[in-house]
Amino acid sequence: MGWLLALIKQPSVISEIIAGVIVGPSVLGNIEFWSTHIFPLSSWNYFTLVGNIGLILFMFNMGLELERKELQNQWKSSLPISISTIVIPYATGAAFGFYLYDINNQNGFTPPDRVAFILFTASSMSFTAFPVLASILSSTKLISTQIGTLTINCAAVNDIMGWCSLAIAGAFAKGSEIVGLWIILIAIGYVIFMFTIVRWLVLHAYSFLVKRDNEMNRTFLVGIFLLLLGSSFFCDILGIHSFFGAFIVGVLCPKSGPLSTALYPPLEFV
């Protein structure tokens, strides 16, 4: 399928999405033999786990391709663009959620908290599908260009806003409104912490263990992967998807020297 779509200049991620829909419950999942013996319900958790690991490694690899200075240089222009692109779908989703909430009340169905319901609907309309966009930019060789960096910046801001909104909606649904505010503050503090203290530690460890001998050091490599897993795990606990933690670690890693050459090809193959 990927080969067929490549003939019409479509990125491989499109074929992966179509294949997932076909083997899932929408198409082949309706066949009893398929859903019982080929992909039974008990196997879904394992597929989710493997898929999340692959997604984390992929987003870490995308971060390795991007230069932190380029992201910083385009931050002032990407922030207003990303905000403007999220306002319209978010407002549309909120209005739609407000309308659906009243309809459900009229039909005798009691939905959850009104604010939580509206925030859930608005968030679902404003996500960017960040990993899909990154895959498209990577397969078209645009991710390292100026337009690619700007697009990644905007998509990252959009998705962080969307996930924070979703976390706030979950807090409202549980009756803990103050938790939503804490999630936003912790997320901001986490990003600042990663790009200041953690980045400083990574650069100094890189200079001491790798740059001095100009060859990859196993201790440094293990440390990077532990940082990758820890950052992903923290984001997942916070309510932001784990791939953001992996992407941030990839961005703050040194781009010169043996690190990128040692990590990028094998991760790209995986």
- Residue-range domain boundaries for the chain: 1-38, 68-175, 179-270
Look up the pTM and report it: 0.76
> Six-digit token pair at 227?
């940082």
Is the model's pLDDT at 9 over the cut of 60? yes
Please give the Cα distance from 38 to 94 (Å, whole number). Answer: 40
Q: What is the mean pLDDT of residues 97-117?
A: 74
pLDDT at residue 197, rounded to an integer: 94
Is the model's pLDDT at 183 over the cut of 70? yes
Please tell me whether residue 160 adopts helix, strand or coil conformation. helix
pLDDT at residue 18, rounded to an integer: 86
> Six-digit token pair at 85?
């692109």
pLDDT at residue 164, rounded to an integer: 78
pLDDT at residue 108, rounded to an integer: 62
pLDDT tens-digit series, residues 185-209: 888 899 899 989 999 999 888 888 7
Q: What is the mean pLDDT of residues 16-38?
A: 81
pLDDT at residue 234, rounded to an integer: 92
pLDDT at residue 232, rounded to an integer: 93
Please give the Cα distance from 34 to 40 (Å, whole number). Answer: 8
Q: What is the mean pLDDT of residues 114-141?
A: 82
